[in-house]
Structure 1
Amino acid sequence: MTAFRICKFFGAMIYSIFKNQVSIRNGSWILPACARNVSFPRIIPLFVVRHESGIAGKEQPFSISYLINTVGLSPQSALSVSKKIHFETSEQPDTVISFLTNHGFSKPQIRSIIQKWPASLLCNPEKTLLPKLQFFYSKRISGVQRVLSSNPDVLKRSLDNRIIPNFNAFREVTRCNDDQVFSAYKNCSDVLWCDFPSKIASNVAILKESGVPESTVMAEVVVHPRAFAVNHDKFRRAVEEVKKLGFDPSKYSFLTALQAFLQISKSTWERKSDVLKQWGWSNEVVLSAFEKYPRIMMFSEQKITATMDFFVHTMGWKALDIANRPVLLSYSLERRIIPRYSVLQALLSKGLIEKFNIYFMLASTEKEFLQRFVIPYEYPSLLKLYEQKLGL
């Protein structure tokens, strides 16, 4: 029997079964007797999947086929992108892809640009893309392709009216180099296209008036520009809140606490406080932990809960011990805490260690940990255990 006849036969069978003869008993699907002993070949699920997807086979639009076969998008991503652009020939998309390839963009980077900016496939690359790339090349900025593929937003903007004025203004305000301007853009696309320099100027002035060293302020603007792109009144209120908690403006922790207040709403703060209170922390303990390590309130509720649970229920610590060293909550459960604790348990079970500092074990660098707790011991499977826990 030919493939066509097989498809036609089973297609008719499926139609008959599901239209007329499928019954339900106690919540279960019951096939008719004629179909119960039928051995369905692999073509059946393939037929059903293609019918449900609606984007495969001969009826597939050209744009989706192109995005899948040429660009390398998944069917789901191709469908999503195709809703934002439409083309019936490969002429213009081929021109854009060829242009990007000739300018050093890899296939994954091109795919990333198209996913984040679908209209790029239909632009005139010589007019839209080339002048901006030439500007960045002229600055001898490293990693142009890598940064633009992760955030192509600036490629949509006017070179003369937005990019160049903002680039120069940001560099002048922060006194950073060209690479650092581009690095700041990667963290916040507003840097190169909105009225960012004037927006941050007033907020930077508040910090200087509060006693934050100018060099510290400028370094923070480059690393976390988004924190300075907020409403001026909101920024001022956050600064006052941090002052009330007693943070020293001359220390970097002041800016870390400020960043936390700017990122976290009052309701989010209360939710995270409630999570910590479930472990016996009082309001005073929560604030004390925040003062010691402000980033604690930037972690997700899920991370806080999972890490606290491991420390208390697996390692046997008291919850208040962690409040005294809140930086412990910053460590990755999968990449640091569990692998290192597993090594400690192995050393103890073999009698290879008696005295140890668990805080040092967790806080030490990877090199320090290996040299102190793994390499010195004649225990061949210890390193293997550690690597397995790391997922290596």
Structure 2
Amino acid sequence: MFGFLGKAFSQYRKVDLKASSVRYIRTKTIPSPKSPHQQQPLTVSYLTDSCGLSLDKAISASKWINLKNTEGPDSVLRLLQSYGFTKSDIATLISKHPRCLMANPEKTLRPKIEFFESLGIVGESLTKVICSKERILQSSLKKQIIPFVDFVKGNFGTGENIVCSLKSLSTWSIFWCNPEKTMAPNISTLRAQGVPEGHIQTLLVWHPRAFTCNVDFFEEMVHEVKAMGFEPAKKSFIYALRPKTAMSKETWEKKKEFLMSYGWLEEQFQSAFVHQPVFMLTSEKKIEKVMDFLLNTAGLKSSDVAKCPNLLLCSLEKRLIPRWLFMKVLMSKGLIKPVELTWFLTLSNSVFERRYVIEYEKDAPEVIKAYRDGTGFKDLVTDCNT
């Protein structure tokens, strides 16, 4: 979207060898090192031709496996295809987990897939779970996957919650912890603080990795969140606990210092976190790009962003830049009066569509088309400035 932005907004990021005197010279050719492709022609060609990987990804994946024949890998691919995995799904899975090709399809892979299907994870949901969390196939069915499922059943007793947990982006990591030794004590800590069962269930379903933290660390984070003013009885408590448990203390302080470097004061950081704790999960790279645009192009102040940290969660390409351009063009045409930019940028899509896109479809069709198609804004903005 907005392919022209790369040009229009480029400012946004912003042993000499000396011959010896000898009578006889004996030369020996030293062979150059072979590339992975040359060393493992079967592996690389199989990964590209049969698994659909690009050459670069195939060469990278070949560092982890060395195929002597294709009989075993072929059986793995047939198994995956029988469960609805497309060629694109297979390419995604194998590029992330090439060792999957070396697994025994009947003894290792099929039992896990069938177990997931027994939980109601079928079709696209099944391929999504396995492809996005490829290490799930490395987990032991009996020692890791089943104990986790039993733990969730024992605590919340609903298959739907299990399915949601397994679809969670970082769920695979929970299989590497002992539920009774780690997750159970952490859940008890929340209960002791008065966190409602429904809220604990929400955190377990959508962010199960939080419960895999070291027990002492988890308890410390619970007390920190409480000290920041979050009430255990409110849902905002678990929203704040999520980022606090997602990173080490060192990483937290590093990211906090990074934000403070934009001029935030301590109270502004605290206020931003209370208002929207999830913004702390945003990567520094994204924060830098968004702040650069908001401060240097859109004209906001650092304090404006602190008051509206939701801006740091918005997509720069899909939300912030298009809406800013949209507003700039409509204002130049006299169709709308100046509005508060932070409010304009964070309006829900449905409200924005109703109040602005549909509203001005007849008055400024070219603007609406440019916004919806993601094209043409460059010329519109140029016209506005002339």
Q: Give the aligned residue type for 1:91.
A: E
Gaps in structure 2 of 5+ consecutive residues: 1-31, 378-386
Superposed CA deviations along residues 187-242 of structure 1, whole A, max 9, x for unmatched, are 32144464235421110111111121111011111100111101000011111111
Q: What does residue 376 of structure 1 align with?
A: 359
What per-residue deviation string (whole Å, max 9, x for no partner) do you get for residues 64-83 of structure 1? 22222211222232223223
Distance 1:156 1:331, change over 3 A: closer
Name 1:101's counterpart in structure 2: 81
CA deviations 1:114-165 (Å, max 9, x no partner) are 2333232233212222222222222332322221122233333443343333
Which one has more relative contact order, counting CA pairs under 8 Å at least 6 apart?
Answer: 2
Q: Could you tell me how far apart the structure 2 residues matched to 1:82 and 1:280 are?
A: 47
CA distance in 1, matches of 2:144, 2:243: 30
Distance change in 2, residues 1:182/1:391 (3 Å): farther
- Give the 3 Å change call, closer, same or farther, for CA 138–256 of structure 1 in structure 2: closer
How many residue pairs align between the two structures?
341
1:231-277 per-position Cα deviation (integer Å, ceiling 9, x unaligned): 00001111111121121112222122222222233333333333333
Residue type at the aligned position of 1:130: R
2:119·2:163 contact (CA, 8 Å) conserved in 1?
Answer: no
* Partner SS state of residue 281, structure 1: coil
> Where does residue 271 of structure 1 map in the other structure?
254
Taking the TM superposition and a 5 Å limit, the aligned residue runs for 1:229-240 are 229-240=212-223
Q: Which residue of 2 aligns with 1:78?
A: 58
In the TM superposition, residue 388 of structure 1 has moved relative to its aligned partner by 5.1
Corresponding residue of 1:195: 178
* Match in the other structure for 2:165: 184
* Residues 166 and 193, structure 1, Cα contact 8 Å, conserved in 2: no
User: Structure 1 length as normaliser, TM-score?
Assistant: 0.78
Counterparts of 1:314-353 in structure 2, within 5 Å, are: 314-353=297-336
Counterparts of 1:39-54 in structure 2, within 5 Å, are: 54=35
Instruction: Note closer, same or farther for the CA distance 1:210–1:77 as it changes in structure 2 (3 Å cut).
Output: same
Counterpart CA distance in 2 for 1:369 and 1:61 is 54
The answer for the alignment partner of 2:46 in structure 1 is: 66
Matches within 5 A, 1:100-139: 100-139=80-119
Percent identical across equivalent pairs? 38
User: For the pair shown, which has the larger CA radius of gyration, 1 or 2?
Assistant: 1
CA-atom RMSD in angstroms: 2.7
Q: Is the 8 A contact 1:260 1:297 kept in 2?
A: yes
Rounded to whole Å, the distance in 1 between the matches of 2:255 and 2:48 is: 43
1 CA distance for matches of 2:184 and 2:44?
46
- 2:156 aligned partner: 174
- Equivalent position of 1:92 in the other structure: 72
Larger mean Cα displacement after TM superposition, 220-229 or 197-206? 197-206
TM-score (norm 2): 0.79
